[in-house]
Amino acid sequence: MGARTDGTDASAALRNRLPGLSISTSRTPAGRGAAQEPVSPTARLVKDVYIVVSFGFGAPLDLPVFRDGIQNQLARYRRFRSIQVMSKEGTLQWVVGTEVNVDSHIIFPTLDPAAVAADPDKAVEDYVASLSTLPMDHTRPAWEFHLLDIPTSEATFTAAARVHHSFGDGVSLITLFIAATRSAADPTRLPAMLPPPKRKGAIYALQRRPSPTAGFLAFLVWVCSYLVLAWHTVVDVWSFVATIVFIRDPPTLFMHASNSETRRTRFVHRSLSLDDIKFLKNVMNCTVNDVLVGVTSAALSQYYFRNSGDTRTSKLCVRSILIVNLRPTDSLQAGAFIFNRMFKHVSIGFSNVSGPTEQVVFCGHPVKFIAPSVYGPPQALFVHYQSYGSAMKVILAVDEAVFPDYIQLLDDFSESLRLIKGAASSLSTTSIKND
Protein backbone atom coordinates (compact mmCIF):
# COMPACT_ATOMS: atom_id res chain seq x y z
CA MET A 1 0.00 0.00 0.00
CA GLY A 2 1.46 3.31 -1.07
CA ALA A 3 2.03 6.23 1.24
CA ARG A 4 0.10 9.47 1.01
CA THR A 5 1.01 11.45 -2.08
CA ASP A 6 -0.27 14.91 -1.16
CA GLY A 7 2.83 16.52 -2.64
CA THR A 8 2.37 15.33 -6.22
CA ASP A 9 1.06 17.79 -8.78
CA ALA A 10 -1.84 15.53 -9.79
CA SER A 11 -2.90 14.99 -6.21
CA ALA A 12 -2.73 18.68 -5.40
CA ALA A 13 -4.84 19.56 -8.42
CA LEU A 14 -7.54 17.11 -7.42
CA ARG A 15 -7.46 17.97 -3.73
CA ASN A 16 -7.81 21.69 -4.34
CA ARG A 17 -10.78 21.31 -6.63
CA LEU A 18 -14.17 22.22 -5.19
CA PRO A 19 -17.15 19.92 -5.81
CA GLY A 20 -18.47 22.04 -8.69
CA LEU A 21 -20.36 20.25 -11.44
CA SER A 22 -19.45 22.48 -14.37
CA ILE A 23 -16.05 20.95 -14.99
CA SER A 24 -15.49 20.32 -18.68
CA THR A 25 -14.51 16.96 -20.08
CA SER A 26 -13.34 16.02 -23.54
CA ARG A 27 -15.74 13.73 -25.34
CA THR A 28 -16.50 12.47 -28.80
CA PRO A 29 -19.12 14.67 -30.49
CA ALA A 30 -22.59 13.21 -30.79
CA GLY A 31 -22.33 13.22 -34.56
CA ARG A 32 -19.88 11.36 -36.76
CA GLY A 33 -17.60 8.84 -35.14
CA ALA A 34 -19.85 8.19 -32.14
CA ALA A 35 -22.09 5.14 -31.96
CA GLN A 36 -25.66 5.79 -30.86
CA GLU A 37 -28.33 3.49 -29.51
CA PRO A 38 -31.79 4.06 -28.03
CA VAL A 39 -32.15 4.58 -24.29
CA SER A 40 -34.16 1.61 -23.00
CA PRO A 41 -37.64 2.10 -21.55
CA THR A 42 -36.30 1.02 -18.14
CA ALA A 43 -33.61 3.72 -18.21
CA ARG A 44 -36.18 6.34 -19.17
CA LEU A 45 -38.34 5.35 -16.19
CA VAL A 46 -35.57 6.28 -13.73
CA LYS A 47 -34.53 9.57 -15.31
CA ASP A 48 -34.69 11.37 -11.93
CA VAL A 49 -33.25 8.57 -9.78
CA TYR A 50 -29.63 8.33 -8.65
CA ILE A 51 -27.70 5.64 -6.80
CA VAL A 52 -25.31 6.69 -4.03
CA VAL A 53 -22.85 4.13 -2.65
CA SER A 54 -20.60 4.95 0.30
CA PHE A 55 -17.40 2.92 0.56
CA GLY A 56 -15.36 2.93 3.75
CA PHE A 57 -11.67 2.12 3.32
CA GLY A 58 -9.24 0.80 5.89
CA ALA A 59 -6.01 2.42 4.66
CA PRO A 60 -4.87 6.00 3.97
CA LEU A 61 -5.86 7.41 0.60
CA ASP A 62 -3.24 7.00 -2.12
CA LEU A 63 -4.83 9.29 -4.70
CA PRO A 64 -2.82 8.31 -7.81
CA VAL A 65 -3.39 4.61 -7.07
CA PHE A 66 -7.11 5.18 -6.54
CA ARG A 67 -7.36 7.25 -9.73
CA ASP A 68 -5.55 4.63 -11.78
CA GLY A 69 -7.88 1.99 -10.40
CA ILE A 70 -10.95 3.97 -11.52
CA GLN A 71 -9.35 4.51 -14.92
CA ASN A 72 -8.45 0.87 -15.47
CA GLN A 73 -11.30 -0.92 -13.72
CA LEU A 74 -14.45 1.20 -14.19
CA ALA A 75 -13.94 3.86 -16.86
CA ARG A 76 -13.27 1.19 -19.48
CA TYR A 77 -16.81 -0.22 -19.24
CA ARG A 78 -19.11 0.68 -22.10
CA ARG A 79 -21.89 2.35 -20.11
CA PHE A 80 -19.41 4.39 -18.07
CA ARG A 81 -18.28 5.89 -21.40
CA SER A 82 -21.79 6.85 -22.53
CA ILE A 83 -23.94 9.95 -22.29
CA GLN A 84 -27.60 10.58 -23.06
CA VAL A 85 -28.59 13.06 -25.78
CA MET A 86 -31.85 13.99 -27.46
CA SER A 87 -32.01 12.92 -31.10
CA LYS A 88 -33.52 14.99 -33.92
CA GLU A 89 -36.59 12.76 -33.68
CA GLY A 90 -37.06 13.73 -30.04
CA THR A 91 -35.99 10.41 -28.52
CA LEU A 92 -33.27 9.82 -25.94
CA GLN A 93 -30.16 8.13 -27.31
CA TRP A 94 -27.00 6.80 -25.74
CA VAL A 95 -23.84 8.20 -27.31
CA VAL A 96 -21.40 5.33 -26.82
CA GLY A 97 -17.63 5.68 -26.85
CA THR A 98 -17.34 9.02 -25.07
CA GLU A 99 -13.76 9.90 -24.19
CA VAL A 100 -13.59 10.00 -20.41
CA ASN A 101 -11.37 12.36 -18.45
CA VAL A 102 -11.25 10.52 -15.13
CA ASP A 103 -10.03 13.60 -13.26
CA SER A 104 -13.36 15.25 -14.04
CA HIS A 105 -15.21 12.40 -12.32
CA ILE A 106 -13.12 12.40 -9.13
CA ILE A 107 -14.15 15.19 -6.76
CA PHE A 108 -12.20 16.11 -3.64
CA PRO A 109 -14.45 18.50 -1.68
CA THR A 110 -13.35 20.92 1.00
CA LEU A 111 -15.33 20.50 4.23
CA ASP A 112 -15.66 22.93 7.10
CA PRO A 113 -12.63 22.23 9.35
CA ALA A 114 -14.61 23.11 12.48
CA ALA A 115 -17.39 20.64 11.59
CA VAL A 116 -14.84 17.93 10.85
CA ALA A 117 -13.01 18.52 14.13
CA ALA A 118 -16.25 18.50 16.13
CA ASP A 119 -17.73 15.31 14.63
CA PRO A 120 -16.07 13.72 11.57
CA ASP A 121 -18.80 11.09 11.20
CA LYS A 122 -21.50 13.78 11.05
CA ALA A 123 -19.44 15.90 8.66
CA VAL A 124 -19.14 13.01 6.22
CA GLU A 125 -22.83 12.17 6.64
CA ASP A 126 -23.82 15.79 5.95
CA TYR A 127 -21.73 15.94 2.79
CA VAL A 128 -23.11 12.69 1.37
CA ALA A 129 -26.62 13.97 2.10
CA SER A 130 -25.85 17.15 0.14
CA LEU A 131 -25.35 15.06 -3.01
CA SER A 132 -29.12 14.58 -3.19
CA THR A 133 -29.54 18.33 -3.72
CA LEU A 134 -26.74 18.88 -6.25
CA PRO A 135 -27.47 18.51 -9.96
CA MET A 136 -25.27 16.21 -12.00
CA ASP A 137 -23.48 17.34 -15.14
CA HIS A 138 -24.97 15.28 -17.98
CA THR A 139 -22.62 16.66 -20.61
CA ARG A 140 -20.30 13.87 -19.48
CA PRO A 141 -21.03 10.30 -18.37
CA ALA A 142 -23.23 10.61 -15.29
CA TRP A 143 -21.01 9.06 -12.62
CA GLU A 144 -18.57 10.50 -10.10
CA PHE A 145 -16.55 9.64 -6.99
CA HIS A 146 -16.43 12.07 -4.06
CA LEU A 147 -13.36 11.36 -1.92
CA LEU A 148 -13.59 12.37 1.74
CA ASP A 149 -10.12 11.95 3.23
CA ILE A 150 -11.42 12.16 6.79
CA PRO A 151 -10.95 9.39 9.39
CA THR A 152 -14.26 8.31 10.90
CA SER A 153 -15.30 5.72 13.45
CA GLU A 154 -15.62 3.08 10.72
CA ALA A 155 -13.06 3.98 8.08
CA THR A 156 -9.78 5.75 7.38
CA PHE A 157 -11.42 7.57 4.48
CA THR A 158 -14.74 7.42 2.64
CA ALA A 159 -15.59 7.46 -1.07
CA ALA A 160 -19.15 8.31 -2.11
CA ALA A 161 -19.98 7.16 -5.63
CA ARG A 162 -22.97 8.79 -7.35
CA VAL A 163 -24.29 7.12 -10.51
CA HIS A 164 -27.38 7.82 -12.56
CA HIS A 165 -29.81 4.89 -12.24
CA SER A 166 -29.98 4.49 -16.03
CA PHE A 167 -26.48 2.99 -15.85
CA GLY A 168 -27.89 -0.03 -14.04
CA ASP A 169 -29.80 -1.23 -11.01
CA GLY A 170 -28.33 -1.96 -7.62
CA VAL A 171 -27.62 -5.61 -8.42
CA SER A 172 -25.79 -4.88 -11.68
CA LEU A 173 -23.75 -2.02 -10.21
CA ILE A 174 -22.70 -4.00 -7.14
CA THR A 175 -21.83 -6.89 -9.48
CA LEU A 176 -19.70 -4.49 -11.51
CA PHE A 177 -18.02 -3.27 -8.34
CA ILE A 178 -17.27 -6.82 -7.23
CA ALA A 179 -15.82 -7.61 -10.66
CA ALA A 180 -13.42 -4.68 -10.13
CA THR A 181 -12.25 -5.97 -6.72
CA ARG A 182 -9.92 -8.72 -5.62
CA SER A 183 -9.76 -10.86 -2.50
CA ALA A 184 -7.67 -9.22 0.21
CA ALA A 185 -6.36 -12.66 1.17
CA ASP A 186 -5.44 -13.60 -2.41
CA PRO A 187 -5.21 -10.69 -4.89
CA THR A 188 -5.06 -13.13 -7.82
CA ARG A 189 -8.74 -14.12 -7.51
CA LEU A 190 -12.19 -12.59 -7.29
CA PRO A 191 -13.83 -12.48 -3.84
CA ALA A 192 -15.99 -15.32 -2.60
CA MET A 193 -19.76 -14.77 -2.72
CA LEU A 194 -22.77 -16.14 -0.85
CA PRO A 195 -24.43 -19.17 -2.48
CA PRO A 196 -27.94 -18.66 -3.93
CA PRO A 197 -30.65 -18.83 -1.23
CA LYS A 198 -32.56 -22.06 -0.87
CA ARG A 199 -36.00 -22.36 0.65
CA LYS A 200 -36.39 -25.49 2.71
CA GLY A 201 -39.18 -27.23 4.54
CA ALA A 202 -42.37 -29.03 3.62
CA ILE A 203 -44.15 -25.86 2.54
CA TYR A 204 -41.69 -25.41 -0.33
CA ALA A 205 -41.61 -29.07 -1.41
CA LEU A 206 -43.21 -30.09 -4.68
CA GLN A 207 -46.69 -31.44 -4.00
CA ARG A 208 -46.79 -34.68 -5.97
CA ARG A 209 -50.04 -36.38 -6.83
CA PRO A 210 -50.69 -39.15 -4.29
CA SER A 211 -50.71 -42.73 -5.47
CA PRO A 212 -54.09 -44.51 -5.91
CA THR A 213 -53.39 -46.56 -2.79
CA ALA A 214 -53.05 -43.44 -0.63
CA GLY A 215 -56.82 -43.11 -0.31
CA PHE A 216 -59.43 -40.48 -1.05
CA LEU A 217 -58.42 -38.19 1.84
CA ALA A 218 -54.85 -37.83 0.57
CA PHE A 219 -56.15 -37.07 -2.91
CA LEU A 220 -58.54 -34.44 -1.49
CA VAL A 221 -55.72 -32.75 0.44
CA TRP A 222 -53.64 -32.65 -2.75
CA VAL A 223 -56.47 -31.03 -4.71
CA CYS A 224 -57.17 -28.53 -1.93
CA SER A 225 -53.51 -27.44 -1.84
CA TYR A 226 -53.78 -26.36 -5.47
CA LEU A 227 -57.13 -24.68 -4.91
CA VAL A 228 -55.59 -22.66 -2.08
CA LEU A 229 -52.65 -21.76 -4.32
CA ALA A 230 -55.03 -20.65 -7.07
CA TRP A 231 -57.06 -18.56 -4.61
CA HIS A 232 -54.00 -16.75 -3.24
CA THR A 233 -52.80 -16.13 -6.80
CA VAL A 234 -56.13 -14.52 -7.71
CA VAL A 235 -56.02 -12.37 -4.55
CA ASP A 236 -52.45 -11.25 -5.27
CA VAL A 237 -53.25 -10.37 -8.87
CA TRP A 238 -56.33 -8.44 -7.79
CA SER A 239 -54.34 -6.54 -5.14
CA PHE A 240 -51.68 -5.70 -7.71
CA VAL A 241 -54.21 -4.41 -10.25
CA ALA A 242 -56.14 -2.50 -7.58
CA THR A 243 -52.94 -0.82 -6.38
CA ILE A 244 -52.17 0.34 -9.90
CA VAL A 245 -55.68 1.68 -10.45
CA PHE A 246 -56.89 3.17 -7.18
CA ILE A 247 -55.65 1.66 -3.89
CA ARG A 248 -52.97 3.60 -2.08
CA ASP A 249 -51.62 3.40 1.45
CA PRO A 250 -53.41 5.70 3.90
CA PRO A 251 -51.39 8.65 5.26
CA THR A 252 -48.94 7.64 8.00
CA LEU A 253 -45.85 9.21 9.50
CA PHE A 254 -43.76 7.19 7.01
CA MET A 255 -45.01 9.22 4.05
CA HIS A 256 -44.40 12.66 2.60
CA ALA A 257 -46.96 15.30 3.45
CA SER A 258 -49.29 15.89 0.51
CA ASN A 259 -47.95 19.40 0.03
CA SER A 260 -44.31 18.62 0.68
CA GLU A 261 -41.61 19.64 -1.76
CA THR A 262 -38.53 17.66 -2.66
CA ARG A 263 -36.17 17.77 0.30
CA ARG A 264 -32.69 16.57 1.04
CA THR A 265 -32.27 12.83 1.41
CA ARG A 266 -30.05 11.67 4.25
CA PHE A 267 -28.18 8.37 4.07
CA VAL A 268 -27.44 6.60 7.35
CA HIS A 269 -26.32 3.06 8.00
CA ARG A 270 -25.70 0.56 10.76
CA SER A 271 -23.86 -2.78 10.82
CA LEU A 272 -25.84 -5.81 11.99
CA SER A 273 -24.41 -9.24 12.72
CA LEU A 274 -24.78 -11.54 9.74
CA ASP A 275 -24.19 -14.49 12.07
CA ASP A 276 -27.25 -13.46 14.11
CA ILE A 277 -29.31 -13.22 10.92
CA LYS A 278 -28.15 -16.65 9.78
CA PHE A 279 -28.97 -18.02 13.22
CA LEU A 280 -32.55 -16.80 12.83
CA LYS A 281 -32.68 -18.18 9.31
CA ASN A 282 -31.75 -21.63 10.57
CA VAL A 283 -34.10 -21.52 13.56
CA MET A 284 -37.05 -20.44 11.44
CA ASN A 285 -36.11 -22.60 8.43
CA CYS A 286 -36.39 -19.66 6.02
CA THR A 287 -34.09 -17.39 4.02
CA VAL A 288 -31.94 -14.43 4.97
CA ASN A 289 -34.33 -12.18 3.06
CA ASP A 290 -37.25 -13.49 5.15
CA VAL A 291 -35.38 -12.56 8.32
CA LEU A 292 -34.60 -9.07 7.01
CA VAL A 293 -38.24 -8.48 6.13
CA GLY A 294 -39.19 -9.52 9.67
CA VAL A 295 -36.58 -7.25 11.25
CA THR A 296 -37.75 -4.35 9.07
CA SER A 297 -41.39 -4.91 10.02
CA ALA A 298 -40.52 -5.02 13.74
CA ALA A 299 -38.34 -1.89 13.51
CA LEU A 300 -40.95 0.13 11.68
CA SER A 301 -43.61 -1.02 14.15
CA GLN A 302 -41.53 0.15 17.10
CA TYR A 303 -40.89 3.50 15.46
CA TYR A 304 -44.53 4.00 14.47
CA PHE A 305 -46.14 3.19 17.80
CA ARG A 306 -43.57 5.18 19.77
CA ASN A 307 -44.00 8.32 17.65
CA SER A 308 -47.71 8.15 16.85
CA GLY A 309 -49.05 6.97 20.20
CA ASP A 310 -51.50 4.83 18.24
CA THR A 311 -52.20 1.33 19.56
CA ARG A 312 -54.59 0.18 16.84
CA THR A 313 -53.18 -2.16 14.22
CA SER A 314 -56.28 -3.45 12.47
CA LYS A 315 -56.52 -0.49 10.08
CA LEU A 316 -52.82 0.23 9.70
CA CYS A 317 -51.55 -0.41 6.16
CA VAL A 318 -47.91 0.23 5.29
CA ARG A 319 -46.76 -1.52 2.12
CA SER A 320 -43.33 -1.74 0.56
CA ILE A 321 -42.28 -2.06 -3.07
CA LEU A 322 -39.46 -4.51 -3.75
CA ILE A 323 -37.79 -3.97 -7.11
CA VAL A 324 -37.09 -7.25 -8.92
CA ASN A 325 -34.38 -7.41 -11.58
CA LEU A 326 -36.06 -8.43 -14.90
CA ARG A 327 -33.59 -8.23 -17.76
CA PRO A 328 -35.98 -8.61 -20.79
CA THR A 329 -37.25 -5.20 -21.88
CA ASP A 330 -40.01 -6.22 -24.31
CA SER A 331 -43.25 -4.28 -23.86
CA LEU A 332 -41.80 -2.12 -21.05
CA GLN A 333 -43.49 0.97 -22.60
CA ALA A 334 -46.74 -0.58 -21.32
CA GLY A 335 -44.90 -1.18 -18.01
CA ALA A 336 -44.00 2.52 -17.47
CA PHE A 337 -47.52 3.35 -16.31
CA ILE A 338 -47.55 0.36 -13.94
CA PHE A 339 -44.13 1.26 -12.54
CA ASN A 340 -45.06 4.86 -11.78
CA ARG A 341 -48.44 4.02 -10.26
CA MET A 342 -46.98 1.34 -7.99
CA PHE A 343 -44.29 3.70 -6.74
CA LYS A 344 -46.80 6.44 -5.95
CA HIS A 345 -49.25 4.18 -4.11
CA VAL A 346 -46.96 2.42 -1.60
CA SER A 347 -45.21 3.80 1.47
CA ILE A 348 -41.69 2.34 1.52
CA GLY A 349 -39.02 1.04 -0.84
CA PHE A 350 -37.02 -2.08 0.01
CA SER A 351 -33.89 -3.71 -1.45
CA ASN A 352 -31.49 -6.47 -0.47
CA VAL A 353 -28.18 -7.12 -2.27
CA SER A 354 -25.59 -9.79 -1.47
CA GLY A 355 -21.94 -8.84 -1.33
CA PRO A 356 -18.60 -10.63 -0.90
CA THR A 357 -18.20 -12.98 2.04
CA GLU A 358 -14.60 -11.88 2.61
CA GLN A 359 -12.68 -8.61 2.72
CA VAL A 360 -11.90 -7.16 -0.70
CA VAL A 361 -9.51 -4.61 -2.16
CA PHE A 362 -10.83 -1.92 -4.51
CA CYS A 363 -8.51 0.41 -6.42
CA GLY A 364 -5.62 -0.61 -4.19
CA HIS A 365 -7.46 0.04 -0.92
CA PRO A 366 -9.02 -2.48 1.51
CA VAL A 367 -12.79 -2.02 1.84
CA LYS A 368 -14.24 -1.79 5.36
CA PHE A 369 -17.92 -1.37 4.41
CA ILE A 370 -20.28 -0.95 1.46
CA ALA A 371 -23.45 1.11 1.88
CA PRO A 372 -25.58 1.54 -1.27
CA SER A 373 -28.69 3.69 -1.37
CA VAL A 374 -30.81 5.78 -3.73
CA TYR A 375 -32.56 9.12 -4.01
CA GLY A 376 -35.22 10.33 -6.37
CA PRO A 377 -38.12 7.87 -5.75
CA PRO A 378 -41.26 9.38 -4.19
CA GLN A 379 -40.92 7.42 -0.95
CA ALA A 380 -39.80 9.27 2.19
CA LEU A 381 -38.06 6.06 3.34
CA PHE A 382 -36.03 3.53 1.37
CA VAL A 383 -34.49 0.56 3.20
CA HIS A 384 -31.45 -1.18 1.73
CA TYR A 385 -29.57 -4.20 3.06
CA GLN A 386 -26.05 -5.01 1.90
CA SER A 387 -24.05 -7.99 3.14
CA TYR A 388 -20.25 -7.85 3.28
CA GLY A 389 -18.02 -10.25 5.17
CA SER A 390 -19.54 -11.05 8.54
CA ALA A 391 -21.75 -7.95 8.61
CA MET A 392 -25.10 -6.94 7.17
CA LYS A 393 -25.44 -3.21 6.60
CA VAL A 394 -28.88 -1.68 6.92
CA ILE A 395 -28.92 1.60 5.00
CA LEU A 396 -31.77 4.08 5.28
CA ALA A 397 -32.42 6.81 2.73
CA VAL A 398 -34.74 9.17 4.58
CA ASP A 399 -36.40 12.50 3.96
CA GLU A 400 -34.95 14.29 6.96
CA ALA A 401 -38.04 16.51 7.19
CA VAL A 402 -40.23 13.41 7.68
CA PHE A 403 -37.71 11.55 9.89
CA PRO A 404 -35.89 14.16 12.01
CA ASP A 405 -35.10 11.37 14.51
CA TYR A 406 -33.60 9.08 11.86
CA ILE A 407 -30.92 7.85 14.30
CA GLN A 408 -33.68 6.52 16.57
CA LEU A 409 -35.19 4.73 13.57
CA LEU A 410 -31.79 3.20 12.86
CA ASP A 411 -31.56 2.10 16.51
CA ASP A 412 -34.92 0.34 16.11
CA PHE A 413 -33.39 -2.01 13.52
CA SER A 414 -30.61 -3.04 15.90
CA GLU A 415 -33.05 -3.45 18.78
CA SER A 416 -35.51 -5.48 16.69
CA LEU A 417 -32.81 -7.94 15.66
CA ARG A 418 -31.76 -8.29 19.31
CA LEU A 419 -35.33 -8.95 20.46
CA ILE A 420 -36.07 -11.45 17.71
CA LYS A 421 -32.83 -13.31 18.39
CA GLY A 422 -33.66 -13.42 22.10
CA ALA A 423 -37.05 -14.95 21.37
CA ALA A 424 -35.56 -17.46 18.93
CA SER A 425 -32.85 -18.48 21.40
CA SER A 426 -35.52 -19.78 23.76
CA LEU A 427 -36.55 -22.38 21.19
CA SER A 428 -35.25 -25.92 21.42
CA THR A 429 -31.72 -26.15 20.04
CA THR A 430 -32.62 -29.44 18.36
CA SER A 431 -34.51 -27.49 15.71
CA ILE A 432 -31.46 -25.43 14.74
CA LYS A 433 -29.39 -26.49 11.75
CA ASN A 434 -26.13 -24.74 11.07
CA ASP A 435 -25.24 -23.89 7.46
Please give, one letter per residue, the 3-state secondary structure of the chain: CCCCCCCCHHHHHHHCCCCCCCCCCCCCCCCCCCEEEECCHHHHHCCCCEEEEEEEECCCCCHHHHHHHHHHHCCCCCHHHEEEEECCCCCEEEEECCCCCHHHCEECCCCCHHHHHHCHHHHHHHHHHHHHHCCCCCCCCCEEEEEECCCCCCCCEEEEEEEEHHHCCHHHHHHHHHHCEEECCCCCCCCCECCCCCCCCHHHCCCCCCCHHHCHHHHHHHHHHHHHHHHHHHHHHHHHHHHHHCCCCCCCCCCCCCCCCCCCEEEEEEEEEHHHHHHHHHHHCCCHHHHHHHHHHHHHHHHHHHHHCCCCCCCCCCCEEECCCCCCCCCHHHHHHHHHHHHHHCCEEEEEECCECCCEEECCEEEEEEEEEEECCCCCEEEEEEEECCEEEEEEEEECCCCCCHHHHHHHHHHHHHHHHHHHHCCCHHHCCCC
**Amino acid 372: pLDDT:** 95
**Amino acid 17: pLDDT:** 45
Specify the pTM. Answer: 0.82
66/40: higher pLDDT: 66
Interatomic CA distance for residues 17 and 109, integer angstroms: 7
pLDDT, tens only, 31-42: 444 678 888 877
227/245: higher pLDDT: 227
**Amino acid 241: pLDDT:** 85
- Cβ within 8 Å of residue 320, ≥6 positions away: 296, 346, 347, 348, 349, 350, 383
| Structure confidence at residue 395 as a pLDDT band (50, 70, 90) | very high
CB contact at 8 A, 377 and 49 = yes
Domains, the chain: 9-168 (3.30.559.10), 200-237 (no CATH), 248-350+378-431 (3.30.559)
pLDDT, tens only, 71-88: 998 888 888 999 999 888
**Amino acid 256: pLDDT:** 73
Strands of 365-375's sheet in order across: 106-107, 143-148, 157-164, 50-57, 365-375, 360-362, 181-183
Ranges 139-153, 167-181, 186-200, 356-370: which has the least confidence? 186-200
CB contact at 8 A, 409 and 301 = no
Q: How far apart are the first and last CA of the chain?
A: 36
What CA–CA distances, in Å, run from 177 to 137, 161, 187?
22, 11, 15
| Structure confidence at residue 163 as a pLDDT band (50, 70, 90) | very high
Report the pLDDT averaged over residues 209-217. Answer: 74
48/314: higher pLDDT: 48
Q: Per-residue pLDDT for 116 more than 60?
A: yes
| Structure confidence at residue 252 as a pLDDT band (50, 70, 90) | confident
Interatomic CA distance for residues 327 and 171, integer angstroms: 11
**Amino acid 31: pLDDT:** 42
**Amino acid 19: pLDDT:** 40
| Structure confidence at residue 106 as a pLDDT band (50, 70, 90) | very high
- Cβ within 8 Å of residue 163, ≥6 positions away: 50, 51, 53, 142, 143, 173
Computed over every residue of the chain, the mean pLDDT equals: 82
**Amino acid 331: pLDDT:** 43
372: closest CA among 51, 156, 50, 74? Answer: 51
pLDDT, tens only, 255-293: 776 545 557 899 999 999 999 999 999 998 888 889 999
Q: Per-residue pLDDT for 309 more than 50?
A: yes
Interatomic CA distance for residues 324 and 321, integer angstroms: 9
pLDDT, tens only, 313-363: 666 778 887 765 554 444 444 756 676 777 778 889 899 888 999 999 999
Amino acid identity for residue 265 in this structure: T
Q: Per-residue pLDDT for 182 more than 70?
A: yes
**Amino acid 29: pLDDT:** 42
